[in-house]
Each structure stands twice: as C-alpha cells, then as structure tokens.
Amino acid sequence: MAVRLKPVEEQVVVITGASSGIGLTTARMFAERGARGLVLAARNAETLDDIARELSARGTHTIAVPADTAKREDIEQIARTATETFGGFDTWVNDAAAALYGRLEEIPIEDQRHQFEVNYWGVVNGSLIAARHLRERGGGAIINLGSVLSERAMLFQTQYSATKHAVKAFTDGLRMELEREGAPISVTLIKPSAIDTPYPEHARNYMGDNPALPPPIYDPHLVAKAIVFAAEHQKRDLTVGFGGWMIGALGAIAPRLTDVVMELVGYATQSTRERQRESMRDNLYRPRQDGDEYSSLAREPRKTSVFLAAQMHPFATAVVLAGIGAAVAAFLIPRESRNRPRPRARSAVPARRSEQVTTKTSGNGHSEYVVGPGYRARHEPFHGRPQPRH
C-alpha cells in the first residue's frame, strides 16, 4: 500500500535518544530542513534542554522530554507531550540504544536483560504507541534504528547484535500487520554500519582495553540523511555504509569463513588503548556526559556513501549505470570493427536451378551427356504425350 507522507517542513517529529550521536545529528538536520516542530527525548535532562534551546533559537519549535525508553510510561509521556504541544506528530524515530562490550560469560545477565529493555522493548513500545497515534492522525512514518549487525552477529557485541536481530524481525512484522489492515503508516528500518558517535564511550565495558568501532567508520550525518529521507519517502529499509553491508553479505555467502575471520580480528578491531572521555563511560543504567555528535577516537569517518545514495534514488542510479555501461562498451569495441563496412544483404530471390541432366555411358566407354526420358527444355513447347519412364 502506497503511503503519502508530508514534506518535512510540515511535520512534527519525535526522536528518542536525541542527546548525542545519531539522535542529536538527526534533530539538527530536521531543524535545518525547517521541520514544524521537534519533540526530543533522552535521559539527560540538562543536555536535552540545552539542545532544545539551541534548535528553538534557529527557528524550529523544540520540546525536551526527559524519558527512559526502557519504561513504557515514559514513552507514553513523550506521545502525550507531543499531542499537548503540537496536536500530534507525523514521524516517530526510535533511536535510543545501550551498548555492552565483552564475552557473554563475563557480562552479568542483569546487564544483558537491561540492554534488551532499551534496545528492543524501547523500540516495541515506541512503535506501538506511535502506530496507535498515527492511525488516528491519518498516517505518518515510524523509523526504527537497527544495525548491519541484524544480518550478522559481531564478536564481543553478541547481545547488541541479538537486540538488533530482534528489532529487524519486529519491524518487518509490524510493517506487514499495518499493511494488511490498510493503515497509512510507513515503517522503515535504518541499518547503520560502524558510525563515529560516542557509542563506544557510552558503553559498559568488560574487555581489557577500551572499546572501539571496527572499520570502515562512517559519519553520523549519513544516518541522519537516511532518516530524514525516510520521513518523506516510503522505504522498507536503508543500509548506511557499504562496508557494513558487506559483512552481512559475506556471512550469508560464506558463514564459516566469516566466523574464522571475526575470531581472528574481532578483538583487535573493536578495542583501543587510546584514552577516552571517562565522563561518558557506562550509561547503561544512568545518563552520563552527552551533547556530542562524534566520538573522541582519532579516526576520520567517511562522509559520503554511494551505496546509500543508490538506495535512496534507485531509478537515477540505474540510468547512470546504464550510461556508464554504454560508454565502457563503446570504448572496448575495437575501432576496426566499428569502421568495417557491413556485408551486403543476400537476395531474397533464390538462384535458378540449372537443368538436371543424367550421365549415360555409351558402349565404346566414352561418356556423353544425354537427356533422360521425358526431358524437355523449360520454354520448349510440348507436342504429344511424354515418354513412359523405365
């Protein structure tokens, strides 16, 4: 079912996890696009208030709602505030997430369970509350932040990968249910690769070294761009970063080989001895320092993604690729073949058969051509009956 979505300039947008990283970058991008209103939710009330004042000063009416997405009553409060302030909302972005690094046997079950409360149940409750409201409002968009790790589990982030597998399954099921009932609601899953945000610094860490993100690392503005696009265009899913997509593809094609590679490089690519901001460390149960889009790691993220652009504009991409293919083909064809004259077409009229003759050997051993019984020339007039054939 096709869903018509409003332009961003006419939308009120709710964003959870809006105090740092992808959520903060996305809030600023919606404000730059001139969104009618923003409702920002996170646990860090002080930082959230600062962000709301910043964006309101730029001309976008922004409301801060301190909330813990692990609690359904807090998510209900987000929706009520949006309704009381703006009369409702048009797009709901589920971005809040918690991170754990370490071996499964070393991470307490209580921590693993709480990570599911935030990463999975926060998305479930946010989506269901948003769907109920958008039905009454006449339509809109639900955008869930998943991960490329929903396609392939990552060593030392096993439980995070499990939560994102669950988010993908829930998002696909919700989309089918809404389509089946004819609800005018677009449901999109955004799957980022490794993104340069404070995510590893906010993580609760059970490894010997500080946590890090495996390369290649992408800029959070690419994810924000995908989210803003999904608010205006009905899209099933968008993957940010070809590098992360390749992990899932390789896992599907050669799962055992991918296992071995991850076992060899999994720790080295997800750990660092660089000093990190301790004021950010471990926000699993309580908020820590917020307000930054980027991490403090000394790595320059990739700021462009042709792979993402191709997903957002598939028709234009197909036209460009067709043009490139034609140009390459023209270049590769030998010049001699292009300048060689074409052979003349064969005549459609078949050549006239020569008259059939038979060869007869005379008694003296010399051969001579004689016509057979009943033979006559093609245009020779016929007199009498033909001779009988022997």
- Within 13 Å and on the Cβ side, how many CA atoms surround 16? 32
* CA atoms of 390 and 370, how far apart (whole Å): 15
* CA atoms of 73 and 96, how far apart (whole Å): 16
What's the token pair of residue 3?
């869903």
Three-state helix/strand/coil letters over the chain:
CCCCCCCHHHCEEEEECCCCHHHHHHHHHHHHCCCCEEEEEECCHHHHHHHHHHHHHCCCEEEEEECCCCCHHHHHHHHHHHHHHHCCCCEEEECCCCCEECCHHHCCHHHHHHHHHHHHHHHHHHHHHHHHHHHHHCCEEEEEECCHHHCCCCCCCHHHHHHHHHHHHHHHHHHHHHHHHCCCEEEEEEEECCECCCHHHHCEECCCCEECCCCCCECHHHHHHHHHHHHHCCCCEEEECHHHHHHHHHHHHCHHHHHHHHHHHHHHHCEECCCCCHHHCCCCCCCCCCCCCCCCCCCCCECCCHHHHHHHCHHHHHHHHHHHHHHHHHHHCCHHHHHCCCCCCCCCCCCCCCCCCEEEECCCCCEEEECCCCCCCCCCCCCCCCCCCC
What's the token pair of residue 365?
């051993």
Annotated active-site residue in 160, 206, 294, 369? 160
Residues 371/358, Cβ–Cβ less than 8 Å? yes
Whether 160 is catalytic is yes
* CA atoms of 180 and 343, how far apart (whole Å): 60
Residues taking part in catalysis? 160
